[in-house]
């Protein structure tokens, strides 16, 4: 059996004339090979149509961006809630002092100034002691002491940030 024109017609993408269609249909009825090819062709076309339509990727990206925005908004909301609750907690804890401040702002200002002066004085003493130590015995303050201080500070900061994040998650209900 000669399949030549029919195979070409099946594989070609151009539309067939009515006469060609009729001839092809007649051949497919008697030729299992060409009808199998026609079936494969049909399923291939179906697969091609099932591919994401144009603009699908675009829409997907738009949706992804919207989700990201919503997440960012939730993060901001969580942070605001955290900040507000921190302020509330702080106010609650320091309420006696605040009450005193409301009643006698001048007194509190005075005690603040006094504590600031104290802090400054102790810092000066520390600096002085440090500089004396460095001048008298440069080898007395080992280098690793600074490393230990740096590590301690870094670790403390990490713990603080982590606890903030955890609190934010709890607030978001995650
Ligand atoms: Zn055939």
Render pLDDT for 2-56 as a digit per residue (tens, 0 to 9). Answer: 888 888 888 887 888 999 999 999 999 999 999 998 888 888 877 777 766 667 7
Render pLDDT for 107-139 as a digit per residue (tens, 0 to 9). Answer: 767 777 777 887 788 787 777 776 776 666 555
Report the separation in Å between the CA atom of 33 and the middle of ligand 1, taken as the mean of its atom positions. 5
Report the separation in Å between the CA atom of 116 and the middle of ligand 1, taken as the mean of its atom positions. 99
The dihedral through the CA atoms of 52, 58, 61, 66 has a sign that is negative
- 158: which residues sit within 8 A by CB, 6+ positions away? none
User: CA 120, 160, 113 angle in degrees (round to 5)?
Assistant: 20
Quick one: pLDDT at residue 31? 93
Quick one: pLDDT at residue 102? 67
Report the separation in Å between the CA atom of 31 and the middle of ligand 1, taken as the mean of its atom positions. 5
Report the separation in Å between the CA atom of 12 and the middle of ligand 1, taken as the mean of its atom positions. 15
pLDDT over 60 at 174, yes or no: no
Report residue 67's pLDDT band, with 50, 70 and 90 as the boundaries: confident
Report the separation in Å between the CA atom of 46 and the middle of ligand 1, taken as the mean of its atom positions. 22
Spatial separation of the C-alpha atoms in residues 78 and 70, rounded to whole Å: 12
pLDDT over 80 at 85, yes or no: yes
């Amino acid at each position: 059996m000669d399949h030549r024109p029919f195979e070409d017609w099946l594989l070609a993408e151009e539309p067939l004339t009515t006469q060609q269609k009729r001839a092809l249909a007649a051949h497919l009825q008697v030729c299992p090979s060409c009808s199998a090819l026609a079936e494969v062709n049909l399923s291939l076309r179906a697969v091609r149509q099932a591919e994401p339509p144009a603009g699908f990727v675009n829409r997907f990206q738009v949706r992804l961006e919207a989700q990201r925005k919503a997440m960012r908004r939730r993060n901001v909301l969580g942070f605001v809630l955290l900040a507000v609750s921190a302020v509330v907690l702080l106010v609650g804890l320091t309420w006696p002092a605040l009450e005193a401040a409301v009643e006698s702002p001048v007194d509190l200002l005075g005690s603040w100034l006094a504590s600031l002066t104290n802090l400054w004085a102790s810092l000066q003493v520390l600096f002085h002691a440090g500089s004396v130590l460095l001048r008298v015995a440069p080898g007395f303050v080992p280098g690793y002491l600074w490393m230990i201080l740096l590590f301690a500070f870094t670790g403390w900061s990490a713990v603080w940030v982590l606890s903030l994040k955890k609190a934010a998650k709890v607030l978001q209900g995650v």
